Amino acid sequence: MTQASFEQEAIQPEVAIALDTLGFQWSSGALVLKECSLEVMAGEFCMLLGSNGSGKSTLLRILAGLLIPKSGSYHIKQPVGFVFQNPDHQLVMPTVGADVAFGLVGEQLSVAETKIRVDEALDAVNLLHLKRRPIYALSGGQKQRVAIAGALARHCSVLLLDEPTALLDPDSQLELVDQVRGLVKERGLTALWITHRLIELDYCDRAFLLKNGQVTAEGTAQDLKRSLTAG
């Protein structure tokens, strides 16, 4: 191998998420994903756009290890953090700090190490001042940020976000998108964010259009908007 070819290979970006002709079908026979393929590079903030029933949430649940595909293959860089559309489905402890700490139980950290991880994660999402706040007293946007803090505390490399703005008001929606993009870029993370809102595409590096279980278009936000207009 020549020096030139070695240098060319060395600068190739790392693939953080890859789906190769992925297929998924429910036991009832309903086909959800059909030969679905896409790649997200490390450090990218990508969005997956599609109408209800297009297979977006199923795809994300496969990547999170919650569902097993029927065909094809996939790769995702570990560890992975999953943020549900409704944060009430994943926040299980009574207070903000306790919930973030709960996700670290399996790592067998000391009390001091756990506190550092929790404080750093909450500070990253601007919620450190609410560490002792009861979960029930939080707004929807704050709950989503607690869920994201849980993934940050576990030092996740990849964030999977299933329409995290669905239950938020318009101002809070864009604030959350902007904050997650900032975290991805500042911390060298990778994110795949599900949406059906065209305005959110303006914050991503690239986007994919999922239709009838297949990726039918990909590119910049402008590329996707043109594709939707043409289609």
Look-up: residue for tokens 């990547």? 63
The number of angstroms, rounded, from the C-alpha of 206 to the middle of its chain's C-alpha atoms is: 14
Structure tokens at 141: 């946007």
Residue 194: other Cβ atoms inside 10 A: 24
pLDDT per residue, tens digit, the chain (231 aa), is 444 444 445 556 799 999 999 999 998 888 999 999 999 999 999 999 998 888 999 999 999 999 999 999 999 999 999 999 999 999 999 999 999 999 999 999 999 999 999 999 999 999 999 999 999 999 999 999 999 999 999 999 999 999 999 989 988 999 999 999 999 999 999 999 999 889 999 999 999 999 989 999 999 999 998 888 776
Q: Give me the residue spans of the domains in the chain.
A: 87-155
Ramachandran sector of residue 78 (left: φ over 0; alpha: ψ -120 to 50; beta: rest): beta
> Which pTM value belongs to this model?
0.91
E-strand stretches of the chain: 15-25, 31-41, 45-49, 71-76, 80-83, 158-162, 190-195, 206-211, 214-219
* Rounded Cα distance, 151 and 121, in Å: 8
pLDDT at 228: 82
Q: What value does the CA radius of gyration of the chain take, rounded to a whole number of Å?
A: 18
| Residue 193: per-residue pLDDT | 97
Distance CA 153, CA 112 (A): 14
Provide the pLDDT for residue 135. Answer: 97
| Residue with tokens 């938020």, as numbered in its chain | 168
For residue 12, the model assigns a pLDDT of 65
